[in-house]
Amino acid sequence: MRIILLGAPGAGKGTQAQFLMGKYGIPQISTGDMLRSAIKEGTELGMAAKRVMDEGKLVSDDIIIGLVKERIAKDDCKDGFLLDGFPRTIPQADAMKEADIKIDHVIEFDVPDDVIVERMSGRRVHPASGRVYHVKYNPPEHEGLDDETGEELIIRDDDKEETVRHRLSVYHEQTKPLVGYYAAEAEAGNCEYHKIDGTQPVGDVSQQLNTLLD
């Protein structure tokens, strides 16, 4: 079960990743976590990444691919893994192929931009506890106030509409081309490609994944 999750920020990948990890007992691999642990462990690639990051530059695809290869060789990946947020670009997908990292399933969560903007810009957070509300789907009892403490809720910078729209435009420019890339890979028999309507209720999406992957 080597799975790539594709979809815009806010399309629900994180929620379904938790479901798939629980169901198949496979780890979720995010490049951010990988970088942090490689730096902490002081591995050769970790130190190379740290030097680049200390200079304020982006870590190269070569280093990231090296980290992915290192990570998936670990024991907890023997039954598979879940890649979320990687690959982000076609060159990264090509590099994975060249590194002989095989993928079984690519799952695209398809959600229109306006739905994502509504989902994300409607979030309200209680900073002290991390409790999350939504003005439409999970509103607090009193507008703008935390249910338990009565303290003010905030909108995180990441959830502000202009930030969300910027992240969506980056996604469409860099990552959306992977939809065509992996659809072609599936046609060539290199993986299976599944497109899921991410506007459905969470439970329905999980149920669909259940059926598709079993």
Is 156 catalytic? The answer is yes
**Taking the CA atoms of the chain, what radius of gyration do you get in angstroms?**
19
Catalytic residue among 23, 69, 165, 167: 167
Annotation says 167 is catalytic = yes
Instruction: State yes or no: is 160 an active-site residue.
Output: no
Structure tokens that stand for 143 in this block: 């507008």
Neighbours of 134 (CB within 10 A): 15
Pair 43, 60: CB distance under 8 Å: no
- Among this protein's residues, is 124 annotated catalytic? no
Of the listed 36, 78, 102, 156, which one is catalytic? 156
For 9, 56, 164, 165, 173, the CA distances from 169, given in Å and listed in that order, are: 11, 23, 9, 6, 6
Q: Assess whether 176 carries a catalytic annotation.
A: no
Among residues 23, 88, 97, 165, the one annotated as catalytic is 88
Catalytic-labelled residue, pool 13, 71, 119, 124: 13
Q: Active-site positions?
A: 13, 88, 123, 156, 167
